[in-house]
């Protein structure tokens, strides 16, 4: 059966589940805020009782959030949180850590090199490549503009 594009669009919209946008946005906001609050609490802890400087505390906070994201992804908790919180778990550092670890975990049966080693950059690789290339391009453009 061949269906025209407009007919298919109407059919798909009629049968697609409707998402509760307000609920999803609220959960994403609260989850993202909780992750950021945790990050700030860690930084305050590292700067206060641990006596680290602001830069060192910020670095250790990032490392801690990455570690926690990787650990929670590895034991299957991060995905359950993301199922309910949606985009709130994509706070850049935690979402990036999850995006790095998930493909590696899924392909661990293929071995250390061909599985984990090859798949760990499946999602993050293009981000790193094009992010670096865009940064270099913007740097050159800024340098050229500053000459005038």
Q: What is the pLDDT of residue 139?
A: 92
Regions in the chain scoring below 70 on pLDDT = 1-3, 108
Q: What is the pLDDT of residue 95?
A: 84
User: Is 58 a member of any domain?
Assistant: yes
Dihedral (Cα; 21, 27, 33, 35), 10-degree rounding = -130
- Range(s) of the domain holding residue 66: 26-106
User: Is 72 a member of any domain?
Assistant: yes
Q: What is the pLDDT of residue 84?
A: 85
User: Is 101 a member of any domain?
Assistant: yes
Number of domains in the chain: 1
Q: What is the pLDDT of residue 1?
A: 57
pLDDT, tens digit (0-9, with 9 covering 90-100), for 90-102:
887 888 888 778 7
Q: What is the pLDDT of residue 14?
A: 80
User: Is 95 a member of any domain?
Assistant: yes
pLDDT, tens digit (0-9, with 9 covering 90-100), for 47-73:
999 999 999 999 999 999 999 998 998
Q: What is the pLDDT of residue 20?
A: 86
């Amino acid at each position: 059966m061949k269906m025209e594009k407009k007919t298919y669009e109407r059919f798909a919209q009629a049968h697609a589940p409707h998402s509760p946008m307000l609920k999803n946005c609220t959960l994403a906001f609260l989850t993202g805020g909780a992750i950021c609050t945790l990050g700030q609490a860690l930084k305050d802890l590292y700067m206060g009782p641990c006596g680290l400087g602001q830069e060192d505390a910020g670095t250790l906070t990032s490392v801690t959030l990455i570690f926690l994201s990787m650990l929670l992804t590895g034991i299957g908790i991060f995905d359950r949180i993301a199922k309910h919180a949606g985009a709130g778990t994509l706070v850049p550092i935690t979402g990036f850590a999850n995006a790095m670890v998930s493909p590696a975990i899924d392909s661990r049966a293929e071995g250390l090199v061909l599985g984990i080693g090859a798949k760990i950059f499946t999602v993050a690789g293009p981000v790193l490549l094009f992010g670096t290339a865009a940064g270099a391009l913007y740097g050159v453009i800024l340098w050229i503009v500053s000459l005038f």
